[in-house]
Copies of this chain bind each other. A is one copy, B any other.
Amino acid sequence: MLNERSLAAHQDCKDCPIRHKAVCARCESDELERLEEIKYYRRFEAGQTVVWSGDRMDFVGSVVSGIATLTQTMEDGRTQMVGLLLPSDFVGRPGRSTAAYDVVATTDLVMCCFRKSPFEDMMGRTPHIAQRLLEMTLDELDAAREWMLVLGRKTAREKIASLISIIARRDASLHMRTSDGPLAFDLPLTREAMADYLGLTLETVSRQISALKKDGVIHLEGKRHVTIPDMDRLMEEAGDDADGGMLV
C-alpha cells in the first residue's frame, strides 16, 4: 500500500511505480528497456472486478489512477476488505499463480501491468527490483497489522476516525500538501465499503460519521466531501498517539 516513502519515490514517474528512481537509478538501462517491453495498461470501470479470488492471475502491476479494493468473502456473504489500493500501490504476487482475494475497482481504474513470468525473470536478474518489492511488501504487511489493531481493539467511533485520518493523510501526501491548515477531500468509498473495511455495519458507519460531524471533529458537505479543521483532534479521536502510528 501507499505510504509516504513509496509515494515520494513515485513522484518522478506517474505511470509506473516499479520504474521510479528508488529502484531504477541503480539499474542498468537494458533492464529498464526490458521492463518497458513487457509493460501494458488495463482500464476498468467503476464496479468492475479486476480478478476473482482463486482465479489464475498472470500479471503483476500497480495502480496508475483510481481506487481498487481487496476483499475476502465467507460463504454466508460476510465480507471483509483487506486492502485499499490507491495510485502507486502494487498488486500481485511474484511466485504465485492465483489471486488470493477479489480485486474490485471502486472507481474508474487504470493499471500498469507486467506479464508475470517475464517480470519474475527480471527480478531474478535484478536484485534491486526484488529488494524494492520486498520493501513495498513489508510496508503492506505493516499496514495490514496496523489494521488488525483497528479491527480487534478500537471502538466504532475510533475506527471511523482512523479511516478518515488515513484517507486524509494519503490524500494530503498525494497532493503534496505541506502540513497544517484544514484538509479537504472526498471520501472515495461508500458507507458500505467503509463498513466492510472497518468490520462494522453501514448503519453504524453512518451514525458515527454523523456523531463526529455533530461534535465538530469533521465537517461534511453533501455525503462525501469532508473537511478536517484540526488533524490532531481527529487523530486523538482515532486513538493514535499523535503523528506516531498508521503507516498505510
The interface of chain A, by Cβ under 8 A from chain B, is 70, 72, 74-76, 78-80, 82-83, 93-96, 100-101, 123-128, 130-131, 133-135, 137-138, 140-142, 144-149, 151-153, 198-199, 239, 241, 247
Residues of B within 8 Å of A79, CB to CB, are 153
Besides A100-B247, A151-B151, 6 new A-B residue pairs in contact (Cβ under 8 A), listed by A number: A72-B145, A72-B148, A94-B134, A95-B135, A144-B145, A153-B199
Closest 9 CB pairs of A and B: A152-B199, A82-B145, A130-B130, A151-B151, A144-B144, A80-B149, A80-B152, A78-B153, A151-B152
Q: A79-B153, A127-B127, A137-B137 are in contact. Are A146 and B72 (CB under 8 A)?
A: yes
Q: Bound complex: CA of A96 vs CA of B5, how far in Å? A: 12
Residue pair A239, B74 in contact (C-beta under 8 Å): yes
Q: Within the complex, which residue of B70, B95, B125 is in contact with A145, where a contact is CB–CB below 8 Å? A: B70
Most chain B beta-carbon neighbours within 10 Å: one of A78, A94, A96, A126 = A78
Shortest Cβ distance from A123 into B: residue: B131
Q: Bound state CA distance, A239 and B72, in angstroms? A: 13
Q: By the criterion CB–CB under 8 Å, are A74 and B153 in contact?
A: yes
Residue from the list B94, B131, B144 in contact with A95, Cβ < 8 A:
B131
Task: Find chain B residues with CB under 8 A from A137 CB.
Answer: 134, 137-138, 141
